[in-house]
Amino acid sequence: GNSVTQMEGPVTLSEEAFLTINCTYTATGYPSLFWYVQYPGEGLQLLLKATKADDKGSNKGFEATYRKETTSFHLEKGSVQVSDSAVYFCALFSGGYNKLIFGAGTRLAVHP
């Protein structure tokens, strides 16, 4: 079945460090891929998405490229800020199932 695997957290970085959060997936067909972010005490917000192979999603300095050959959608940011501290979820949508499949989430903590 479809599944998403994320690197375990927490990830702890200093401000202005480079961020990578790994995400790989298993799916039949050509799923759409998403990154969601959850700030403390809030619901999930869409951060970026990619709907086909080699697409790059980007938002707020974050980027992720849909790599079909490695079934990956790693999240990157060149210079993190304290305000980026949150939990990040990778997810895929497979049309045949009409629902999102989420990874377990990766907590990011950025300190000054």
Residue 25 within binding range of another protein, rule CB under 8 A? no
Residue 34 within binding range of another protein, rule CB under 8 A? yes
> CB 2 → another protein: shortest distance, Å?
11
Residue 99 within binding range of another protein, rule CB under 8 A? yes
**How far is 81 from 27, CA to CA, in rounded Å?**
33
Strands (E), 9-79: 11-14, 19-21, 23-26, 32-38, 44-50, 56-59, 62-65, 75-77
Please identify, among the stretches 16-24, 64-72, 76-84, 87-95, the one whose residues bind another protein according to the rule CB under 8 A: 87-95
